[in-house]
Amino acid sequence: MTGDVARAPLIGIVAGETSGQLLAAELIEALNARLGAPARLIGVGGPPLDALGLNSLFDADEIALMGLSAVLKSLPRLARRIGQTADALIAAKPDCLIIVDSPDFSLRVARRVKLRLPHLPVVKYVAPTVWAWRPGRARDMAAFVDHVLAILPFEPQVMADLGGPETHYVGHRLMADAELERCWQANRTRGPRAQGDDTINLLLLPGSRRSEVRALLGDFRRAVEILRERGRALSISLPTLPHLERPVRDHVLEWPDMVRVTTGREAQIEAYGRADVALAASGTVLLELALAGVPAISCYRADPLIRRVAERMLTTWSAALPNIIADKVVINEYYDEMIRPGMLARLAETLARPGSAERARMMDDYADIRARMSVDVPPSEKGADIVAAALRRDG
Protein backbone atom coordinates (compact mmCIF):
# COMPACT_ATOMS: atom_id res chain seq x y z
CA MET A 1 0.00 0.00 0.00
CA THR A 2 1.27 3.48 -0.86
CA GLY A 3 0.05 7.07 -0.77
CA ASP A 4 -3.56 7.61 0.29
CA VAL A 5 -4.26 3.88 0.54
CA ALA A 6 -1.52 3.49 3.16
CA ARG A 7 -3.15 6.22 5.24
CA ALA A 8 -6.70 5.00 4.68
CA PRO A 9 -6.92 1.38 3.54
CA LEU A 10 -10.09 0.04 1.97
CA ILE A 11 -11.63 -2.70 4.11
CA GLY A 12 -14.24 -5.08 2.74
CA ILE A 13 -16.75 -6.12 5.38
CA VAL A 14 -19.70 -8.51 5.68
CA ALA A 15 -21.75 -8.46 8.90
CA GLY A 16 -25.41 -9.43 8.68
CA GLU A 17 -26.62 -9.48 12.28
CA THR A 18 -26.67 -6.65 14.80
CA SER A 19 -24.32 -8.46 17.18
CA GLY A 20 -21.84 -9.07 14.36
CA GLN A 21 -22.06 -5.46 13.22
CA LEU A 22 -21.21 -4.30 16.74
CA LEU A 23 -18.20 -6.61 16.86
CA ALA A 24 -17.06 -5.41 13.44
CA ALA A 25 -17.50 -1.75 14.39
CA GLU A 26 -15.40 -2.19 17.54
CA LEU A 27 -12.72 -3.92 15.47
CA ILE A 28 -12.68 -1.13 12.85
CA GLU A 29 -12.51 1.57 15.54
CA ALA A 30 -9.50 -0.16 17.11
CA LEU A 31 -7.92 -0.58 13.66
CA ASN A 32 -8.44 3.11 12.88
CA ALA A 33 -6.58 4.02 16.07
CA ARG A 34 -3.61 1.97 14.89
CA LEU A 35 -3.67 3.33 11.35
CA GLY A 36 -3.97 6.96 12.39
CA ALA A 37 -6.77 7.51 9.86
CA PRO A 38 -10.27 6.09 9.35
CA ALA A 39 -10.35 3.07 7.08
CA ARG A 40 -12.69 3.24 4.10
CA LEU A 41 -15.36 0.55 4.14
CA ILE A 42 -17.21 -1.39 1.45
CA GLY A 43 -19.60 -4.31 1.84
CA VAL A 44 -22.67 -5.23 3.83
CA GLY A 45 -23.54 -4.08 7.35
CA GLY A 46 -25.87 -1.98 9.45
CA PRO A 47 -26.03 1.14 11.65
CA PRO A 48 -22.90 0.50 13.78
CA LEU A 49 -20.82 0.28 10.59
CA ASP A 50 -22.77 3.02 8.79
CA ALA A 51 -21.53 5.35 11.54
CA LEU A 52 -17.97 4.51 10.49
CA GLY A 53 -18.56 5.29 6.82
CA LEU A 54 -20.03 2.11 5.34
CA ASN A 55 -22.69 2.52 2.67
CA SER A 56 -24.11 -1.00 2.73
CA LEU A 57 -24.67 -2.61 -0.66
CA PHE A 58 -28.16 -3.64 0.53
CA ASP A 59 -30.14 -4.09 3.74
CA ALA A 60 -28.18 -6.50 5.94
CA ASP A 61 -31.43 -7.97 7.28
CA GLU A 62 -31.63 -9.93 4.03
CA ILE A 63 -28.72 -12.14 5.08
CA ALA A 64 -29.41 -12.27 8.83
CA LEU A 65 -31.53 -15.40 8.44
CA MET A 66 -32.38 -17.75 11.29
CA GLY A 67 -33.50 -21.34 10.87
CA LEU A 68 -33.40 -23.90 8.10
CA SER A 69 -36.78 -23.01 6.61
CA ALA A 70 -35.92 -19.30 6.34
CA VAL A 71 -32.70 -20.11 4.49
CA LEU A 72 -34.41 -22.51 2.08
CA LYS A 73 -37.13 -20.00 1.21
CA SER A 74 -34.57 -17.29 0.47
CA LEU A 75 -32.02 -19.27 -1.57
CA PRO A 76 -32.64 -17.53 -4.93
CA ARG A 77 -32.35 -14.06 -3.39
CA LEU A 78 -29.29 -15.08 -1.36
CA ALA A 79 -27.59 -16.38 -4.51
CA ARG A 80 -28.13 -13.02 -6.22
CA ARG A 81 -26.83 -11.10 -3.22
CA ILE A 82 -23.75 -13.33 -3.00
CA GLY A 83 -22.93 -12.52 -6.63
CA GLN A 84 -23.63 -8.81 -6.15
CA THR A 85 -21.43 -8.56 -3.05
CA ALA A 86 -18.55 -10.58 -4.49
CA ASP A 87 -18.57 -8.58 -7.74
CA ALA A 88 -18.55 -5.27 -5.85
CA LEU A 89 -15.62 -6.35 -3.68
CA ILE A 90 -13.64 -7.70 -6.62
CA ALA A 91 -14.14 -4.45 -8.53
CA ALA A 92 -13.13 -2.34 -5.51
CA LYS A 93 -9.96 -4.39 -4.77
CA PRO A 94 -9.95 -3.83 -0.99
CA ASP A 95 -6.79 -4.13 1.09
CA CYS A 96 -8.43 -6.67 3.42
CA LEU A 97 -11.75 -8.50 3.69
CA ILE A 98 -13.33 -9.08 7.12
CA ILE A 99 -16.34 -11.41 7.35
CA VAL A 100 -18.19 -11.83 10.62
CA ASP A 101 -21.46 -13.78 10.65
CA SER A 102 -24.13 -15.16 8.28
CA PRO A 103 -21.68 -17.92 7.27
CA ASP A 104 -23.80 -19.42 4.50
CA PHE A 105 -23.54 -16.03 2.84
CA SER A 106 -20.21 -14.56 3.92
CA LEU A 107 -18.06 -17.64 3.34
CA ARG A 108 -19.38 -18.00 -0.20
CA VAL A 109 -18.61 -14.35 -0.86
CA ALA A 110 -15.09 -14.75 0.53
CA ARG A 111 -14.43 -17.83 -1.59
CA ARG A 112 -15.40 -16.00 -4.79
CA VAL A 113 -13.40 -12.91 -3.93
CA LYS A 114 -10.27 -14.85 -2.97
CA LEU A 115 -10.42 -16.75 -6.25
CA ARG A 116 -10.16 -13.47 -8.17
CA LEU A 117 -7.93 -11.63 -5.68
CA PRO A 118 -5.62 -14.40 -4.39
CA HIS A 119 -3.31 -12.04 -2.45
CA LEU A 120 -6.15 -10.38 -0.54
CA PRO A 121 -5.95 -11.03 3.24
CA VAL A 122 -9.26 -12.55 4.38
CA VAL A 123 -10.11 -12.47 8.09
CA LYS A 124 -13.04 -14.34 9.66
CA TYR A 125 -14.14 -12.75 12.94
CA VAL A 126 -15.94 -15.36 15.08
CA ALA A 127 -15.07 -18.93 14.19
CA PRO A 128 -17.82 -21.05 12.64
CA THR A 129 -19.05 -23.78 14.97
CA VAL A 130 -17.05 -26.55 13.30
CA TRP A 131 -16.73 -28.16 16.75
CA ALA A 132 -20.51 -28.69 16.79
CA TRP A 133 -21.41 -29.65 13.24
CA ARG A 134 -20.03 -29.83 9.68
CA PRO A 135 -16.38 -30.09 10.79
CA GLY A 136 -15.29 -30.29 7.16
CA ARG A 137 -15.89 -26.55 6.90
CA ALA A 138 -12.59 -25.94 8.71
CA ARG A 139 -10.46 -27.52 5.98
CA ASP A 140 -12.57 -25.91 3.26
CA MET A 141 -11.99 -22.47 4.79
CA ALA A 142 -8.23 -22.91 4.74
CA ALA A 143 -8.31 -22.38 0.96
CA PHE A 144 -9.69 -18.84 1.15
CA VAL A 145 -9.47 -17.56 4.77
CA ASP A 146 -6.08 -16.44 6.12
CA HIS A 147 -6.93 -15.71 9.75
CA VAL A 148 -9.76 -16.60 12.11
CA LEU A 149 -10.37 -14.44 15.18
CA ALA A 150 -11.90 -16.87 17.68
CA ILE A 151 -14.03 -15.80 20.64
CA LEU A 152 -13.89 -19.14 22.49
CA PRO A 153 -10.62 -20.42 23.99
CA PHE A 154 -10.82 -23.98 22.67
CA GLU A 155 -11.37 -22.99 19.03
CA PRO A 156 -7.72 -22.52 17.91
CA GLN A 157 -6.91 -26.13 18.82
CA VAL A 158 -10.08 -27.41 17.16
CA MET A 159 -9.27 -25.51 13.98
CA ALA A 160 -5.72 -26.85 13.97
CA ASP A 161 -6.91 -30.42 14.52
CA LEU A 162 -9.38 -30.10 11.63
CA GLY A 163 -6.88 -28.55 9.21
CA GLY A 164 -8.47 -25.09 9.30
CA PRO A 165 -6.95 -21.62 8.84
CA GLU A 166 -4.59 -20.01 11.34
CA THR A 167 -6.79 -19.19 14.33
CA HIS A 168 -6.17 -16.73 17.16
CA TYR A 169 -8.14 -16.54 20.40
CA VAL A 170 -8.88 -12.83 20.87
CA GLY A 171 -11.36 -13.13 23.73
CA HIS A 172 -15.11 -12.81 24.16
CA ARG A 173 -16.93 -9.48 24.47
CA LEU A 174 -18.80 -10.77 27.54
CA MET A 175 -15.52 -10.98 29.45
CA ALA A 176 -15.18 -7.21 29.05
CA ASP A 177 -18.71 -6.55 30.34
CA ALA A 178 -18.29 -4.57 33.56
CA GLU A 179 -21.89 -5.25 34.66
CA LEU A 180 -21.41 -9.01 34.40
CA GLU A 181 -18.17 -8.67 36.33
CA ARG A 182 -20.00 -6.84 39.13
CA CYS A 183 -22.66 -9.57 39.21
CA TRP A 184 -19.93 -12.20 39.39
CA GLN A 185 -18.17 -10.53 42.30
CA ALA A 186 -21.45 -10.15 44.22
CA ASN A 187 -22.81 -13.63 43.49
CA ARG A 188 -19.62 -15.55 44.22
CA THR A 189 -19.30 -13.97 47.67
CA ARG A 190 -23.00 -14.11 48.58
CA GLY A 191 -23.37 -15.13 52.21
CA PRO A 192 -26.06 -17.18 53.96
CA ARG A 193 -29.65 -15.93 54.02
CA ALA A 194 -31.14 -14.11 56.95
CA GLN A 195 -32.70 -16.51 59.43
CA GLY A 196 -36.20 -17.51 58.34
CA ASP A 197 -35.77 -16.26 54.75
CA ASP A 198 -36.07 -19.24 52.43
CA THR A 199 -37.39 -17.35 49.38
CA ILE A 200 -35.88 -18.55 46.11
CA ASN A 201 -35.09 -15.77 43.66
CA LEU A 202 -35.84 -17.70 40.47
CA LEU A 203 -34.72 -16.39 37.08
CA LEU A 204 -36.53 -17.67 33.99
CA LEU A 205 -34.98 -17.27 30.53
CA PRO A 206 -37.16 -19.17 28.04
CA GLY A 207 -35.34 -17.99 24.91
CA SER A 208 -35.20 -15.23 22.33
CA ARG A 209 -37.53 -16.75 19.74
CA ARG A 210 -41.29 -17.06 19.96
CA SER A 211 -41.13 -20.82 19.29
CA GLU A 212 -38.64 -21.34 22.13
CA VAL A 213 -40.76 -19.37 24.56
CA ARG A 214 -43.92 -21.29 23.65
CA ALA A 215 -42.11 -24.61 24.01
CA LEU A 216 -40.54 -23.99 27.43
CA LEU A 217 -42.87 -21.77 29.44
CA GLY A 218 -45.22 -24.69 30.12
CA ASP A 219 -42.37 -26.72 31.62
CA PHE A 220 -41.18 -23.73 33.65
CA ARG A 221 -44.70 -23.10 34.98
CA ARG A 222 -45.02 -26.70 36.16
CA ALA A 223 -41.60 -26.48 37.88
CA VAL A 224 -42.82 -23.33 39.67
CA GLU A 225 -45.99 -25.13 40.76
CA ILE A 226 -43.95 -28.03 42.14
CA LEU A 227 -41.69 -25.66 44.08
CA ARG A 228 -44.81 -24.10 45.59
CA GLU A 229 -46.18 -27.55 46.46
CA ARG A 230 -42.89 -28.22 48.24
CA GLY A 231 -43.46 -25.15 50.40
CA ARG A 232 -40.95 -22.80 48.76
CA ALA A 233 -41.63 -19.07 48.58
CA LEU A 234 -40.62 -17.66 45.20
CA SER A 235 -39.65 -14.33 43.70
CA ILE A 236 -39.68 -14.82 39.93
CA SER A 237 -38.00 -12.63 37.29
CA LEU A 238 -38.35 -13.10 33.54
CA PRO A 239 -36.30 -10.71 31.37
CA THR A 240 -37.32 -10.88 27.72
CA LEU A 241 -37.07 -9.01 24.43
CA PRO A 242 -39.50 -6.20 23.55
CA HIS A 243 -41.18 -8.14 20.72
CA LEU A 244 -41.85 -11.05 23.10
CA GLU A 245 -43.08 -9.03 26.07
CA ARG A 246 -46.80 -9.20 25.27
CA PRO A 247 -47.04 -12.97 24.61
CA VAL A 248 -44.88 -13.65 27.68
CA ARG A 249 -47.07 -11.46 29.90
CA ASP A 250 -50.18 -13.16 28.56
CA HIS A 251 -48.72 -16.59 29.30
CA VAL A 252 -47.68 -15.91 32.90
CA LEU A 253 -50.89 -14.10 33.82
CA GLU A 254 -52.46 -17.27 35.24
CA TRP A 255 -49.37 -18.56 37.06
CA PRO A 256 -49.68 -19.22 40.81
CA ASP A 257 -46.94 -16.67 41.57
CA MET A 258 -46.51 -13.18 40.20
CA VAL A 259 -43.79 -13.09 37.55
CA ARG A 260 -41.79 -9.89 37.12
CA VAL A 261 -41.54 -9.54 33.31
CA THR A 262 -39.00 -6.94 32.15
CA THR A 263 -37.20 -5.81 29.01
CA GLY A 264 -33.90 -4.06 28.47
CA ARG A 265 -30.31 -4.79 29.40
CA GLU A 266 -30.41 -2.89 32.69
CA ALA A 267 -33.32 -4.97 33.98
CA GLN A 268 -31.64 -8.18 32.84
CA ILE A 269 -28.42 -7.35 34.69
CA GLU A 270 -30.43 -6.47 37.79
CA ALA A 271 -32.12 -9.88 37.57
CA TYR A 272 -28.73 -11.60 37.29
CA GLY A 273 -27.58 -9.85 40.44
CA ARG A 274 -30.68 -10.90 42.37
CA ALA A 275 -31.08 -14.50 41.13
CA ASP A 276 -30.32 -17.57 43.22
CA VAL A 277 -30.80 -19.94 40.27
CA ALA A 278 -31.92 -19.82 36.63
CA LEU A 279 -33.95 -22.05 34.34
CA ALA A 280 -32.74 -21.12 30.86
CA ALA A 281 -33.16 -22.07 27.23
CA SER A 282 -30.01 -23.54 25.74
CA GLY A 283 -27.98 -20.81 24.01
CA THR A 284 -25.45 -18.02 24.48
CA VAL A 285 -27.31 -16.88 27.60
CA LEU A 286 -25.81 -19.86 29.46
CA LEU A 287 -22.36 -18.33 29.04
CA GLU A 288 -23.71 -15.00 30.32
CA LEU A 289 -25.11 -16.76 33.38
CA ALA A 290 -21.81 -18.51 34.04
CA LEU A 291 -19.86 -15.25 33.80
CA ALA A 292 -22.43 -13.53 36.04
CA GLY A 293 -22.18 -16.31 38.63
CA VAL A 294 -25.81 -17.48 38.41
CA PRO A 295 -26.27 -21.25 38.92
CA ALA A 296 -28.23 -22.49 35.91
CA ILE A 297 -30.15 -25.41 34.44
CA SER A 298 -30.42 -25.68 30.65
CA CYS A 299 -33.54 -26.82 28.77
CA TYR A 300 -34.46 -27.07 25.10
CA ARG A 301 -37.37 -28.37 23.08
CA ALA A 302 -36.53 -28.69 19.37
CA ASP A 303 -38.80 -28.58 16.36
CA PRO A 304 -39.18 -32.22 15.17
CA LEU A 305 -37.54 -31.50 11.79
CA ILE A 306 -34.64 -29.64 13.37
CA ARG A 307 -34.25 -32.42 15.91
CA ARG A 308 -33.95 -35.09 13.20
CA VAL A 309 -31.38 -33.01 11.32
CA ALA A 310 -29.44 -32.32 14.52
CA GLU A 311 -29.30 -35.99 15.50
CA ARG A 312 -27.62 -36.75 12.17
CA MET A 313 -25.25 -33.80 11.98
CA LEU A 314 -24.23 -32.68 15.47
CA THR A 315 -20.77 -33.78 16.58
CA THR A 316 -20.49 -31.99 19.93
CA TRP A 317 -21.06 -33.78 23.24
CA SER A 318 -22.82 -30.74 24.77
CA ALA A 319 -24.80 -27.73 23.56
CA ALA A 320 -23.88 -25.60 26.60
CA LEU A 321 -20.85 -23.37 25.99
CA PRO A 322 -19.79 -23.42 29.67
CA ASN A 323 -19.58 -27.22 29.48
CA ILE A 324 -17.55 -27.17 26.27
CA ILE A 325 -15.15 -24.51 27.57
CA ALA A 326 -14.60 -26.40 30.84
CA ASP A 327 -14.55 -29.78 29.05
CA LYS A 328 -16.84 -31.21 31.73
CA VAL A 329 -20.47 -31.07 32.83
CA VAL A 330 -20.89 -27.75 34.61
CA ILE A 331 -24.54 -27.05 33.74
CA ASN A 332 -27.05 -29.89 33.52
CA GLU A 333 -28.90 -30.04 30.18
CA TYR A 334 -32.38 -31.44 29.55
CA TYR A 335 -33.88 -31.88 26.10
CA ASP A 336 -37.34 -32.72 24.79
CA GLU A 337 -38.78 -35.76 26.59
CA MET A 338 -35.94 -35.60 29.15
CA ILE A 339 -37.38 -32.36 30.54
CA ARG A 340 -39.09 -33.30 33.81
CA PRO A 341 -40.51 -30.31 35.73
CA GLY A 342 -40.16 -32.24 38.99
CA MET A 343 -36.45 -32.72 38.34
CA LEU A 344 -36.04 -29.05 37.38
CA ALA A 345 -37.76 -27.98 40.61
CA ARG A 346 -35.63 -30.18 42.86
CA LEU A 347 -32.36 -29.27 41.17
CA ALA A 348 -33.25 -25.57 41.29
CA GLU A 349 -33.99 -25.95 45.00
CA THR A 350 -30.57 -27.48 45.58
CA LEU A 351 -28.62 -24.95 43.49
CA ALA A 352 -30.41 -22.04 45.17
CA ARG A 353 -29.26 -23.15 48.64
CA PRO A 354 -26.20 -21.02 49.57
CA GLY A 355 -24.41 -23.79 51.46
CA SER A 356 -25.04 -26.66 49.06
CA ALA A 357 -22.12 -28.63 47.65
CA GLU A 358 -23.72 -28.50 44.19
CA ARG A 359 -23.83 -24.71 44.22
CA ALA A 360 -20.24 -24.46 45.47
CA ARG A 361 -19.06 -26.87 42.78
CA MET A 362 -20.79 -24.86 40.05
CA MET A 363 -19.30 -21.58 41.27
CA ASP A 364 -15.82 -23.15 41.29
CA ASP A 365 -16.39 -24.32 37.71
CA TYR A 366 -17.55 -20.85 36.73
CA ALA A 367 -14.32 -19.41 38.15
CA ASP A 368 -12.34 -21.89 36.05
CA ILE A 369 -14.28 -20.84 32.93
CA ARG A 370 -13.48 -17.20 33.63
CA ALA A 371 -9.80 -18.07 33.97
CA ARG A 372 -9.80 -20.00 30.68
CA MET A 373 -11.48 -17.11 28.85
CA SER A 374 -9.33 -14.35 30.33
CA VAL A 375 -7.25 -12.17 27.96
CA ASP A 376 -4.89 -9.27 28.59
CA VAL A 377 -6.50 -6.82 26.13
CA PRO A 378 -10.06 -6.38 24.78
CA PRO A 379 -10.98 -8.60 21.80
CA SER A 380 -11.20 -5.66 19.38
CA GLU A 381 -7.68 -4.53 20.30
CA LYS A 382 -6.11 -7.93 19.79
CA GLY A 383 -8.10 -8.46 16.59
CA ALA A 384 -7.02 -5.06 15.26
CA ASP A 385 -3.37 -5.97 15.81
CA ILE A 386 -3.83 -9.09 13.66
CA VAL A 387 -5.64 -7.18 10.89
CA ALA A 388 -3.03 -4.39 10.94
CA ALA A 389 -0.24 -6.97 10.63
CA ALA A 390 -2.04 -8.57 7.68
CA LEU A 391 -2.32 -5.16 6.00
CA ARG A 392 1.40 -4.53 6.49
CA ARG A 393 2.33 -7.91 5.01
CA ASP A 394 0.06 -7.29 2.03
CA GLY A 395 1.51 -3.84 1.55
Tens-place pLDDT, residues 138-176? 999 999 999 999 999 999 999 999 999 999 999 999 999
Q: Could you tell me if 97 and 208 lie in one domain? A: no
Asked if 47 contacts 130 with a C-beta cutoff of 8 angstroms, the reply is: no
Q: From CA 150, how far away is CA 169, in angstroms rounded? A: 5
pLDDT the model gives residue 75 = 78
Q: Could you tell me if 127 and 199 lie in one domain? A: no
Residue span of the structural domain in which 62 resides: 3-171+375-394
Q: Could you tell me if 338 and 228 lie in one domain? A: yes
Q: Could you tell me if 218 and 117 lie in one domain? A: no
Q: What H or E segment, with its residue span, contains residue 330? A: none
Q: Could you tell me if 193 and 280 lie in one domain? A: yes
Q: Could you tell me if 145 and 269 lie in one domain? A: no
Torsion, Cα of 209, 212, 214, 215 (10° steps)? 170
- Residue whose C-alpha is closest to residue 313's, from 86, 57, 61, 137: 137
pLDDT the model gives residue 63 = 84
Q: Which residues pair with 260 in a beta bridge?
A: 237
Q: Could you tell me if 163 and 231 lie in one domain? A: no
Which residues neighbour 291 within 8 Å (Cβ) at sequence distance 6 or greater?
174, 175, 177, 180, 181, 184, 366, 369, 370, 373
- Residue whose C-alpha is closest to residue 171's, from 379, 4, 343, 337: 379
Q: Could you tell me if 98 and 195 lie in one domain? A: no
Phi and psi, residue 305, nearest 5°: -65, -45
Q: Which residues pair with 99 in a beta bridge?
A: 14, 124
Q: What H or E segment, with its residue span, contains residue 72? A: helix 68-73
Q: How far out from the chain centre does Cα 52 lie?
A: 23
Q: Could you tell me if 160 and 183 lie in one domain? A: no
Q: How far out from the chain centre does Cα 242 lie?
A: 19
Give, in degrees to the nearest 5, the angle at Cα 393 between 391 and 395. 65
Q: Could you tell me if 52 and 95 lie in one domain? A: yes
Residues of the chain with pLDDT below 70 are: 1-7, 65-72, 192-196, 303-307, 309-310, 394-395
pLDDT the model gives residue 4 = 47
CATH number assigned to the domain comprising residue 92: 3.40.50.2000
Which residues neighbour 83 within 8 Å (Cβ) at sequence distance 6 or greater?
112
| Domain total of the chain | 2
Q: Could you tell me if 36 and 160 lie in one domain? A: yes
Q: Could you tell me if 334 and 211 lie in one domain? A: yes
Q: From CA 264, how far away is CA 242, in angstroms rounded? A: 8
pLDDT the model gives residue 78 = 86
Q: From CA 286, how far away is CA 299, in angstroms rounded? A: 10
